[in-house]
C-alpha cells in the first residue's frame, strides 16, 4: 500500500481482459487493457455503445472479475479476492453512480443515502447525520423525505451522488451519470461531482458519451472493441 501511496496510483491494470461466452462465441468486452489511474484523477472514458466502457467500470468497481491479466486496486490484487472480500471493497472504498440513478423506489432520499452506510455498520445517528450533510452538499436538504418518484431526474442523480459518497469511498465510478439528464442538469451534476471529488480527494472514473462532460475531466480515455485507443495495449500489432 505504501508503494501505491508513494507513486499515487490507485488502479493498476495489466493486460486486463474480460471475455464473455455467448454460446460458442467469445465476446472480448475488455481486451488486454493496460491502465493506471492516479489518486484524485477525474477520468472520463468515452466510446461507442458496446465498446466495453461499462464492463471496464464494473471491473474497476469490483463488481466483476477480469478473465485475464491483473487488476490492482489500492495495492490489492482484486483478481485474487473472493466474493466476500470484493463486497467489502465495494462497501468501503467504492461509490457507484448509474445512468438510471438506481434509487430504491420505496425509500426516501435520505433513506437511499443511508442504504450505503448499512454495510459499513454505522449507527443510526451517524447515518442520519452524514446523510443530512451529504444531501445538503448536493442541494437537496429540503427534499430528504421525498421518495424518488417525487424527485426530478437531476434531483435523483444528486441523491445518487450523495449515496455514492456516503461510505466515504476512495473512488467514484459513474456510468453515464448524465445520460438521462438535460444538458443544464448534466452540467450541474458534473459540477457537483467535480467539486465533491476535489474536496474529498476522491478519484472519479466517469463513462460518458457526451464530449462536453468528458471535456471537464482531467484525463480522457477512448475505447473501441474492448481496447483503449489512446493507450494501445502492449503487444498489439
Partner 1 sequence: MFQFGYVFNELRRRLGRTILTALGLAAGVGLVIGIIGVSQGLDQAQAKVLAPLSSIGTDVLVTRVVGASSNGSSATPTPAASAQTDPRANRGFFFGGPGGNNNNLNVADINALASENSNVTTDLSKLGKPGTKFTHDFFLSATLLSFPDQALSQVAKLPGVVSATPGLTLLAEHQTGTVPQITAELKTGGDTITQNINIAPPSASEQAAIDACLAKRRAAGGSGGFGGPNPSASPGSGGGDFRGGFQSCLPERFRNFRAQFRTPLRTIQQVVNPPQTDIKTTSYNVAGVDPASPRAGLVTTDQLTAGKWLTAGQPNQILVANSYANKNKLKVGSTITINGTTFTVVGLVNPTLTGSTSDIYFPLSTLQKMSSKTGRVTQILVKTSSASNVDAVAKEIQKLLPGAQVVTTKSLAAQVTGSLGDAKKLASRLGGALGVIVLAAAFIIAILLTLSSVAKRVREIGTLRAIGWSKSRVVRQVLAETVGIGVFGGVVGVGIGYAAALAVGAFSPALTATTNGVPNIGSSSFAQQIGLQSSTTTSTVSLHAPVHPTTLLLGIGFAIVGGLLAGAIGGWRAARLAPAEALRNVG
Within 13 Å, how many C-alpha atoms sit on residue 35's CB side? Answer: 28
Instruction: Check residue 147 for interaction with partner 1 (CB under 8 A).
Output: yes
Instruction: Check residue 111 for interaction with partner 1 (CB under 8 A).
Output: yes
| Chosen residue from 7, 48, 80, 92 binding partner 1 by CB under 8 A | 92
- The C-alpha R_g of the chain, in whole angstroms, comes to 18
| Chosen residue from 8, 48, 75, 119 binding partner 1 by CB under 8 A | 119
Per-residue binding letters, 19-58, with partner 1 (x by CB under 8 A): -----------------------------------xx--x
CB within 8 A of 140, min separation 6: which ones? 109, 151, 155, 158, 159, 162
Whole-number Å distance between alpha carbons of 144 and 139: 10
- The three cell numbers of residue 113 are 443515502
Instruction: Check residue 129 for interaction with partner 1 (CB under 8 A).
Output: no
Question: Which single residue is written with the C-alpha cell 489518486?
Answer: 39
Residues that bind partner 1 (CB under 8 A): 54-55, 58, 61, 63-64, 83-84, 87-88, 90-92, 94-96, 98-100, 102, 104-107, 111, 114-116, 118-120, 124, 127, 147, 163-164, 167, 175
Amino acid at each position: 500500500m505504501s508503494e501505491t501511496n508513494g507513486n499515487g496510483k490507485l488502479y493498476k491494470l495489466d493486460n486486463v481482459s474480460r471475455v464473455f461466452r455467448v454460446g460458442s462465441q467469445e465476446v472480448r468486452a475488455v481486451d488486454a487493457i493496460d491502465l493506471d489511474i492516479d489518486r484524485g484523477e477525474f477520468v472520463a472514458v468515452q466510446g461507442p455503445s458496446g465498446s466495453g466502457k461499462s464492463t471496464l467500470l464494473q471491473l474497476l468497481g469490483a463488481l466483476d472479475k477480469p478473465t485475464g491479466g491483473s487488476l490492482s486496486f489500492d495495492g490489492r490484487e482484486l483478481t485474487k479476492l473472493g466474493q466476500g472480500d470484493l463486497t467489502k471493497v465495494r462497501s468501503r472504498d467504492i461509490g457507484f453512480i448509474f445512468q438510471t440513478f438506481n434509487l430504491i423506489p420505496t425509500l426516501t432520499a435520505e433513506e437511499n443515502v443511508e442504504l450505503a452506510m448499512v454495510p459499513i455498520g454505522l449507527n443510526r445517528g451517524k447515518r442520519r447525520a452524514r446523510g443530512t450533510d451529504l444531501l445538503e452538499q448536493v442541494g437537496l436538504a429540503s427534499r430528504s423525505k421525498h421518495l424518488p418518484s417525487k424527485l426530478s431526474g437531476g434531483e435523483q442523480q444528486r441523491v445518487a451522488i450523495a449515496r455514492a459518497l456516503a461510505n466515504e469511498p476512495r473512488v467514484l465510478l459513474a456510468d453515464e451519470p448524465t445520460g438521462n439528464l438535460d444538458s443544464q442538469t448534466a452540467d450541474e451534476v458534473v459540477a457537483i461531482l467535480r467539486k465533491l471529488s476535489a474536496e474529498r480527494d476522491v478519484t472519479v472514473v466517469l463513462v460518458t458519451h457526451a464530449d462536453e462532460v468528458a471535456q471537464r475531466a482531467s484525463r480522457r480515455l477512448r475505447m473501441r472493441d474492448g481496447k483503449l485507443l489512446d493507450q494501445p495495449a502492449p503487444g498489439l500489432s
